[in-house]
Chains A and B, each alone.
Chain A
């Protein structure tokens, strides 16, 4: 009997799970259909480099359909809603696509309109986001014109995609302004709802130290309430719910995130923010047993990052096969995440962590590997090389040699000599 597997979204998660499943399932056992609203696949880690002229739009966009292997059906259409009660996806034009297994892989979307005033006169004039291609490209025009004043990097709310990207932006901005000889004339500030530079204590201390070293002011526990712009949208003030004010001449804003719009229109599928509640170890949704979620689209307590999606892919592919065969699911996804953090001047840091173990110093993936939580040129090369791996290894759904889905512990150590496993830090934005 042939099963119908439908995958919503052809980003990192949708593409890699489609390709993995196609390799494991003969065509007579399952059809695989991937649906996305457009045919432009953006290499999202590349967005960070665009404002600094280190990458251009052409370098980081490829057709989505070209990343899907033979034997996968491609449908270019927006989704109106999913009806899990009758196993059907309703497309924007009313057509219906029935499924036996549905995988939600539509990622996270930016919601700048949720912040009062943000999308007013200064949006695209003095306030930009580098979290999408138009915003990052517009910032690439504005940043070279900044010769002095206040540059504010503002995280509106958590969760966000790639929680380290705002830090990387600060490090690169510091480098960029120094290269242009105007660093002393610019006050650079990171404004975050977190109580430190990052969500996990050991990395937060290390990254906070780097910010200080580079002269980046850190404003914490700041819950953005509204943005008001000056005349002609030039400059403005970000005001927190507690009344604190952050004036800026140029702002790089990371807007609030939510799930794809159709999730909220699909009865029982998503939470209040449009993310899909799913089992953190099996990736099966809470909405229905034949619905799974991968990547940024889920509500899992993990970073919304490509590495997470890659590691989830291995477990999810196995679980879809198990589900089709009526076998129990494999509850083995451990929350593994791995991120290079660009720190400017051709250096980068690497962090590796999971649900139970916060990012620790040491080496990855073993004692002879890349240095963890420490700046090095090797990590910077790793970050640049990752783009090749993304198109040629991650998206085809292959494993990276020597790096498995589960977090390695060899080569890591706690700075205080304590046990590696730590409890998760409480959410200070709550």
Chain B
């Protein structure tokens, strides 16, 4: 584990750059994480997904998959890929400061 500085705050990150401690996250940090993922500006639709990801994580201990996001976040799978072209669940988890979604079988 190492640390990184986003928006002037030192946070713990894993070797893939995901925040180790979701409670260190702020909206300002999210903006910088998004830029690192190639998303220049976070729109309201991005925020809707990011906030939903955090809610789900704190309620269930893991972030949702793309299909679960499409069913329950209020944003369709098609739009999710438009918002987060490099893979919605992974990128949105990164920006939301929660762990990368767990492996499937």
Contact = CB atoms under 8 A, between A and B. Distances in A.
Interface of A: 114, 157-159, 163, 199, 223, 225, 241-242, 256, 271-273, 277, 301-304, 424-427, 429-430
Contact of B104 (A159, A225, A272): A159
B65 A427 contact: yes
B105 A430 contact: no
B30 interface: no
Interface of B: 60, 63-68, 71-72, 77-78, 81, 85, 87, 89-90, 93, 100-105
B67 A427 contact: no
Nearest to B82: A241
- Chain A facing B: main interface SS: loop
B78 A159 contact: no
A256 B67 contact: yes
A301 B60 CA distance: 14
Contacts of A303: 105
A426 B90 CA distance: 10
Contact of B72 (A272, A304, A425): A272
Given A163-B105, A225-B81, A301-B104, A430 B87 contact: yes
Q: Which of A256, A272, A425 has the most CB of B within 10 A?
A: A272
Contact of A425 (B64, B77, B78, B103): B103
B45 to A, nearest CB: 16
B104 A273 contact: no
Given A159-B104, A301-B102, A426-B100, A223 B71 contact: no
Given A199-B103, A241-B77, A242-B81, 19 more contacts: A158-B105, A159-B104, A199-B104, A223-B81, A241-B81, A242-B85, A271-B68, A272-B67, A273-B71, A301-B104, A302-B105, A303-B105, A304-B105, A426-B100, A427-B102, A427-B104, A429-B65, A429-B89, A430-B66
A272 B105 contact: no
A-B pairs with the 7 shortest C-beta distances?
Answer: A430-B101, A430-B89, A272-B68, A241-B81, A424-B103, A158-B104, A272-B71
A295 B30 CA distance: 39
A427 B103 contact: yes
21 contacts: A114-B67, A157-B67, A199-B103, A223-B81, A256-B67, A277-B60, A301-B102, A301-B105, A303-B105, A424-B102, A425-B103, A426-B100, A426-B101, A426-B102, A427-B65, A427-B100, A427-B101, A427-B104, A429-B89, A430-B63, A430-B89
A241 B91 CA distance: 15
Nearest to B89: A430
Contacts of B67: 114, 157, 256, 272-273
Contacts of A241: 77-78, 81
Contact of A159 (B60, B72, B87, B105): B105
B81 to A, nearest CB: 4
Contacts of A273: 67-68, 71
Contacts of A424: 102-103
Contact of B100 (A157, A158, A430): A430
B65 A430 contact: yes
Nearest to A258: B67
A304 B64 CA distance: 19
A86 B78 CA distance: 39
A226 B89 CA distance: 19
Given A159-B104, A272-B64, A301-B102, A430 B93 contact: yes
A427 B77 CA distance: 17
Contacts of B103: 199, 301, 424-427
A40 to B, nearest CB: 27
Contacts of A163: 105
A159 B65 CA distance: 10
A20 B85 CA distance: 49
A207 B9 CA distance: 45
A223 B68 CA distance: 14
Nearest to B80: A241
Contacts of B90: 430
A242 B78 CA distance: 10
